[in-house]
Chains A and B, each alone.
Chain A
Amino acid sequence: MMNMNRLIVFSRTFRIGQRLLGCHARHAGKEELRLQQRRSIKTHSRHLAYAKDLFLGQVNKAEVFPYPEIGNDELEEIKQLVAPVEKFFSDDVDSAKIDREATIPPETLQGLKDLGLFGIMIPEEYGGLGLSNTIYARLNEIIALDGSIAVTLAAHQAIGLKGILIAGNEAQKQKYLPKLASGEHIAAFCLTEPGSGSDAASIQTRATLSEDGKHYLINGSKIWISNGGMADIMTVFARTEVEVDGVKKDKISAFIVERAFGGITSGKPEDKLGIRGSNTCELSFDNVPVPVENVIGEIGGGFKIAMNILNSGRFSMGSSCAGMIKKLIELTSEYATTRKQFNKSLSEFGMIQEKFAMMALNAFVMESMAYLTAGMMDRPGIPDCSLEAAMVKVFSSEGGWICVSEALQVLGGLGYTKNYPFERFVRDCRILPIFEGTNEILRMYIALTGMQYAGKILTGKIKEMKKGNIGLAIGMVSKKLRASLGASVDLGLTGKDGVVHPSLEDSAKKLEQNVSLFGSTVESLLYRYGKTIVDEQLVLKRVADVLIHIYAMTAVLSRASRSISIGLRNHDHEVLLANTFCNDAFFKNNYWMVQLQKHSPENNDANIKKIAKQVLENRAYICSHPLERTY
């Protein structure tokens, strides 16, 4: 609110200034436009997920403060659920054996089914546990201790049956969900094809309506299908002919396909680097008859369904990685405190200490982000948290990879052997930045979604600036001047109506500074590139990275503030972690945003592109060998 008022005051002063400059006549016509803009900002800033508003340099604090909580009954539920699952994973799951034999033993699968882990999010009326996203995330912390099981379960319920859950009709739900929830049937998600990853246009699998109009016949093949070898129910995406405005067009549709329909053959399971116990294989469909009532949603509406499924499944990776790192800290800290070198234990060496601090920081940040996002998703209504979920996925998959590798490093040579689980964690972890949308693609999604949102709102303003509106230009300059003179940015996180605990005030100020600078960076990027920013991948990558870190800062501040307020045990440690992370992220963000400025000497993009171009043109490293010839 404060901000808004100031804006109005400012624009008034500009108006006076303009009158003095004699631009009044020119300006008068745009009065209305400006009013409209202001109004639109006001209406849009409510009821929106948090991340998009960051692109405008605004902190929508109501969305993320206070840190989401669960009710007491849910808390009870978690306590009841977590203990047996934890016990099962520590006693009955032999991860080394699963990895070695590249298969999950049937008794382990049966144990998972008995615990109800195949239907965590399926509503109770269909026989599932009907748990919220938050509890799903909590359970995933434990499940993630075995990568193979985690992937098997995720392929089953995070993507495999999600289509039926979010877009299926009542009959489909009644028919399929109970058996899927009990684990009697296992689900798979069939989208990827040899020639198509994210490109819907290159999907070749085709569904044609049979002559009697009762069946679709599906032909084609799908690759890298998790659970492909054992799935009984599959969500298959295929091309169908749809008539749009009298013109026949190919559109993607989603189908529920049972293996029992016949005509489905699965290939040999892929031999993978990690998550070896999970089943991944090729599936080919040869005239598979699918009854018309098995179309999910409506025919031709598969694209939206696929997008929704993919977007909704990602948030849990944050808690999975956090769970894994917490386990790794336990495993490695024992070694670090007992192993002695030069009459000192490893834990006394600074470089080893740094690794543990980093693991703790990462686990803390991931956890905070994951449960903040899960909490946002659990709010009533249908909040669009896909941006936040993607950010959690990118941050945790990359942080997870670094932590696992550092944990292995603590053990040195021992960690490299198969006698310890670290090499398996490293291998399993490597899939995280790849599946559920590669991190590169997710960064594009994060940055472009925000850019689209901010662009819609800022277009009018930028056009005015390009036309040479002096009032706006002076406004920009004075804003920059004030920022450079060290005027603090106040977005309302601290102070009178503050939501951040005073012991985190410095960090909150840093977040506010970052957010405000990010807003103006986005504006200048839109000014410079307009819609061609789609082609500036290196710029978008940095935009995404800044946003991810801003979101991470928000999450830790929100969580730590709550922890202090309700007096959680070791909350001082949380404060320490939060302040450390915010400080680190603040400088990283500043650096990236400096790189995003025009003519920035820190920015190496042009050179990077050139190097890559020359290398790729020759398809080789092109420098002559230093020993190639003499003078």
Chain B
Amino acid sequence: MKGSRCLHQLKSLRLLSHAGRLLPPAAAGDNGTLFRPRSSSQLGGLQCAQREVLRHFHSSPACTKGQPARFVQEEDKTRDKSLVTHDDLFEQVAKEAKTKATFNKVIDVYTKGDIRRRGHVEFIYAALKKMPEFGVEKDLTVYNKLLDVFPKEVFVPRNFIQRMFNHYPRQQECGVQVLEQMENYGIMPNIETKVLLVQIFGEKTHPMRKYQRIMYWFPKFKHVNPFPIPEQLPEDPVDLARFSLTRMANEWDAKVTVYQLPCTDVTESGAEVTLPHIVGIQSPGQMEALAKHNPDRPVFVEGPFPLWMRKTCVYYYVLRADPTPPEEKIEEPYDPERCFSYPLQLDLDLDRDLGDDESFDVEDLDEGPVFAMCMTSQGDQATLNQWISGLQESNPILGQIPTLFRLGAGPRELQGVGDADSASRSWFPSHVQREEAHPGEEAEAVVEEAEAVVEEAEAVVEEAEAVVEEAEAVVEEEPRRSQGVKQ
């Protein structure tokens, strides 16, 4: 309905422009206000106003009277040296403030400045490039405004030959680029965009096709992610940890426990102590698996592992064990006296027919169970030990199982480096070590090869309460959440 109404408006607009055929086509788009004086000029009345308008046509600066002088000068300069790019225009404004308002102002200046819209393709390209700088790259209205810069009606093919060949290819290409950038930022065009495109390029042109493709795919892809991340992540680290952990565990019954809220304490000696937050998650299934774990085999606290949430990276730690060796696996024997009502197994010597075996041949890789996960702002052993003792309340068996800490360096080396590459690799201990070699990083927190740590730790198989004081293995630095840049 809405679309047809718009198209109807468009038609009436066309009729209007037919009336003013003699006008330069560029003017037709301007709501038809411009050619009214013109027609009146033919009647020979209101000469004064008419002259002004006419002058307006010939020399655009006249209309910029109301604008700040600076812009006018800008405009002049640009026109004087017509080869100067429109980037300058934006850069001039950028000195003041980079906001949506100023960006719009630049567009306004341009559109009002030159009625013929000379160099509008270059202007639009320049504007597209500057959009992220002004923070308007996700604003649909700005895109529409930008499209509005195109003169209307001019590029619409009028006969089949024009339609057959690429009519005004540069302009069409530019229009496609605008849509392309919208696509890249995930902005869905609206009906206004469509009306503009029809006005500018006409139906069945490249930009229109592009628009149609976007409208075909976007609604389908927009909600395709079954695990959507909200646009705005929670600010509070505890809330963020809670959100990330539930997202990773993705189990309904998994329970998030806040073992410690972040707080700042002042000790008796007057020193300020910041307690990190510790948030953990565990599901009933994991508790059950942990309860069945052979207490002779150690469990490991490992981490930090990165988790990207849009442009934020958080780190988590896991409590896991090595896979049970095959000789320790006990299969529960079938108990014929298990079910009161019906046989749970048939005593038959017949297997499933191959033709009805619909299972895939998947190679099983036993990775070992993960019993729990946690997030904390401080990944040192003391803090993680606090987590383990918290876990022990609901999993008493942890008191009997030796717990080993296999901690990599915190995420701190990302801070200075800031390249996404090291961020993505940092969780490999060996890589961490290599990154550590950077001068200026705390070299004393060098982490040995993971195997070495394990060996060392296994040599010191202690009670869970005992803290493993392996300086190499422990990273005392407070790991801060880094703001990596997603490429």
Q: Is B68 in contact with chain A by the CB < 8 A criterion?
A: no
Q: How far is the CB of B358 from chain A (nearest CB, A)?
A: 9
B352 — which chain A residues lie within 8 A by C-beta?
528-530, 532
- Residue of A251, A528, A533, A624 touching B346 (CB-CB under 8 A): A533
The CA of A534 and the CA of B338, in the complex, are separated in Å by: 15
Q: Is A489 in contact with chain B by the CB < 8 A criterion?
A: no
Within 8 A of A (CB), among B122-173: none
B340 — which chain A residues lie within 8 A by C-beta?
191, 198-200, 303, 306-307, 310
Within 8 A of B (CB), among A509-565: 526-534
Report yes or no: B349 in contact with A459, Cβ–Cβ below 8 A. yes
* Given A448-B342, A534-B344, A534-B345, residue A529 in contact with residue B252 (CB < 8 A): no
Among B338, B342, B349, B351, chain A packs the most CB atoms within 10 A around the CB of B342
Q: Which residue of A lies closest to B344 (CB)?
A: A534
Interface size on A, residues (CB 8 A): 39
Report yes or no: B348 in contact with A437, Cβ–Cβ below 8 A. no
Q: Is A429 in contact with chain B by the CB < 8 A criterion?
A: no
Q: Is B356 in contact with chain A by the CB < 8 A criterion?
A: yes
Report yes or no: A530 in contact with B338, Cβ–Cβ below 8 A. no
Q: How far is the CB of A461 from chain B (nearest CB, A)?
A: 11
Q: How far is the CB of A283 from chain B (nearest CB, A)?
A: 19
B343 — which chain A residues lie within 8 A by C-beta?
448-449, 452, 534
Report yes or no: B356 in contact with A528, Cβ–Cβ below 8 A. yes
Q: Is A462 in contact with chain B by the CB < 8 A criterion?
A: yes
Q: Is B219 in contact with chain A by the CB < 8 A criterion?
A: yes
* Given A303-B337, A528-B355, A619-B252, residue A463 in contact with residue B350 (CB < 8 A): yes
Q: Which of A52-60, A134-142, A439-447 contacts B (4 or more CB under 8 A)?
A: A439-447
Q: How far is the CB of A308 from chain B (nearest CB, A)?
A: 10
Interface size on B, residues (CB 8 A): 24
* Given A528-B356, A598-B356, residue A455 in contact with residue B341 (CB < 8 A): no
B353 — which chain A residues lie within 8 A by C-beta?
466, 527-530
Q: Is B268 in contact with chain A by the CB < 8 A criterion?
A: no
Q: Is A451 in contact with chain B by the CB < 8 A criterion?
A: yes
Q: Is A252 in contact with chain B by the CB < 8 A criterion?
A: yes
Q: Which residue of A lies closest to B219 (CB)?
A: A631
Report yes or no: A532 in contact with B351, Cβ–Cβ below 8 A. yes
Among B340, B348, B349, chain A packs the most CB atoms within 10 A around the CB of B340
Within 8 A of A (CB), among B174-189: none
* Given A529-B356, A598-B356, A631-B219, residue A452 in contact with residue B341 (CB < 8 A): no
- Residue of A201, A307, A451, A526 touching B335 (CB-CB under 8 A): A201
Q: Is B444 in contact with chain A by the CB < 8 A criterion?
A: no
Q: Is A175 in contact with chain B by the CB < 8 A criterion?
A: no
Q: Which residue of A lies closest to B335 (CB)?
A: A201
* Given A303-B337, A448-B342, A452-B343, residue A526 in contact with residue B350 (CB < 8 A): yes
Q: Is B347 in contact with chain A by the CB < 8 A criterion?
A: yes
Within 8 A of B (CB), among A297-332: 303, 306-307, 310
Q: How far is the CB of B150 from chain A (nearest CB, A)?
A: 25
A437 — which chain B residues lie within 8 A by C-beta?
341
Within 8 A of B (CB), among A438-486: 441-442, 444-445, 448-449, 451-452, 455-456, 459, 462-463, 466
The CA of A527 and the CA of B352, in the complex, are separated in Å by: 8
Q: Which residue of A lies closest to B188 (CB)?
A: A631
Q: How far is the CB of A115 from chain B (nearest CB, A)?
A: 32
Q: Is B266 in contact with chain A by the CB < 8 A criterion?
A: no
Within 8 A of A (CB), among B323-339: 335, 337-339
Q: How far is the CB of A466 from chain B (nearest CB, A)?
A: 8
B347 — which chain A residues lie within 8 A by C-beta?
452, 456, 531
Q: How far is the CB of A603 from chain B (nearest CB, A)?
A: 13
Report yes or no: A200 in contact with B337, Cβ–Cβ below 8 A. yes
Among B215, B338, B353, chain A packs the most CB atoms within 10 A around the CB of B353
Report yes or no: B346 in contact with A451, Cβ–Cβ below 8 A. yes
Report yes or no: B341 in contact with A198, Cβ–Cβ below 8 A. yes
- Residue of A251, A444, A533 touching B341 (CB-CB under 8 A): A444
A451 — which chain B residues lie within 8 A by C-beta?
346
A303 — which chain B residues lie within 8 A by C-beta?
337, 340
Among A306, A442, A532, chain B packs the most CB atoms within 10 A around the CB of A532
**Interface residues of A, dominant DSSP:** helix
The CA of A466 and the CA of B355, in the complex, are separated in Å by: 11
Type the 1/0 row for A580-606, where 1 means its CB is closer than 8 Å to any CB of B: 000000000000000000100000000
The CA of A527 and the CA of B340, in the complex, are separated in Å by: 27
Report yes or no: A455 in contact with B338, Cβ–Cβ below 8 A. no
Q: Which residue of B lies closest to A192 (CB)?
A: B340
A306 — which chain B residues lie within 8 A by C-beta?
340
A619 — which chain B residues lie within 8 A by C-beta?
252
B223 — which chain A residues lie within 8 A by C-beta?
624
B335 — which chain A residues lie within 8 A by C-beta?
200-201
The CA of A455 and the CA of B219, in the complex, are separated in Å by: 54
Report yes or no: B350 in contact with A444, Cβ–Cβ below 8 A. no
The CA of A619 and the CA of B250, in the complex, are separated in Å by: 13
Q: Which residue of B lies closest to A310 (CB)?
A: B340
B338 — which chain A residues lie within 8 A by C-beta?
199-201
A310 — which chain B residues lie within 8 A by C-beta?
340-341
Among B335, B338, B341, B352, chain A packs the most CB atoms within 10 A around the CB of B341
The CA of A605 and the CA of B146, in the complex, are separated in Å by: 55
The CA of A444 and the CA of B341, in the complex, are separated in Å by: 8
The CA of A150 and the CA of B356, in the complex, are separated in Å by: 47
Within 8 A of B (CB), among A597-631: 598, 619, 624, 631
Report yes or no: A452 in contact with B346, Cβ–Cβ below 8 A. yes
Within 8 A of B (CB), among A184-209: 191, 198-201
Q: How far is the CB of A342 from chain B (nearest CB, A)?
A: 46
The CA of A451 and the CA of B356, in the complex, are separated in Å by: 18
A459 — which chain B residues lie within 8 A by C-beta?
348-350
- Residue of B341, B348, B351, B356 touching A442 (CB-CB under 8 A): B341
Within 8 A of B (CB), among A236-251: 251
Q: How far is the CB of A309 from chain B (nearest CB, A)?
A: 10
Report yes or no: A444 in contact with B346, Cβ–Cβ below 8 A. no
* Given A252-B337, A529-B356, A530-B353, residue A456 in contact with residue B348 (CB < 8 A): yes
The CA of A513 and the CA of B416, in the complex, are separated in Å by: 83
Report yes or no: B348 in contact with A455, Cβ–Cβ below 8 A. yes
The CA of A531 and the CA of B348, in the complex, are separated in Å by: 6
A448 — which chain B residues lie within 8 A by C-beta?
342-343, 346
The CA of A534 and the CA of B335, in the complex, are separated in Å by: 15
The CA of A598 and the CA of B223, in the complex, are separated in Å by: 37
A532 — which chain B residues lie within 8 A by C-beta?
351-352
Q: Which residue of B lies closest to A302 (CB)?
A: B337
A199 — which chain B residues lie within 8 A by C-beta?
338-340
The CA of A116 and the CA of B49, in the complex, are separated in Å by: 117
B345 — which chain A residues lie within 8 A by C-beta?
531, 534
The CA of A536 and the CA of B90, in the complex, are separated in Å by: 70
B351 — which chain A residues lie within 8 A by C-beta?
530-532
Q: How far is the CB of B103 from chain A (nearest CB, A)?
A: 28
Q: How far is the CB of A448 from chain B (nearest CB, A)?
A: 5
* Given A444-B342, A448-B342, A598-B356, residue A251 in contact with residue B348 (CB < 8 A): no
Q: How far is the CB of B5 from chain A (nearest CB, A)?
A: 16
B346 — which chain A residues lie within 8 A by C-beta?
448, 451-452, 455, 531, 533-534
A624 — which chain B residues lie within 8 A by C-beta?
223
- Residue of A191, A442, A531 touching B350 (CB-CB under 8 A): A531
Type the 1/0 row for A245-268, where 1 means its CB is closer than 8 Å to any CB of B: 000000110000000000000000
Q: Which residue of A lies closest to B358 (CB)?
A: A606
Q: Which residue of A lies closest to B252 (CB)?
A: A619
The CA of A555 and the CA of B349, in the complex, are separated in Å by: 34
10 contacts between A and B (CB under 8 A): A198-B339, A451-B346, A452-B348, A455-B346, A459-B350, A527-B350, A531-B346, A531-B348, A531-B349, A534-B343
Q: What are the 4 tightest A-B residue pairs by CB atom distance, in nearest-first order?
A: A530-B350, A445-B342, A303-B337, A455-B348
Besides A252-B337, A437-B341, A455-B350, 13 other A-B contacts (C-beta < 8 A): A200-B335, A201-B335, A307-B340, A310-B341, A448-B342, A452-B346, A452-B347, A459-B348, A529-B356, A531-B346, A534-B343, A534-B345, A598-B355
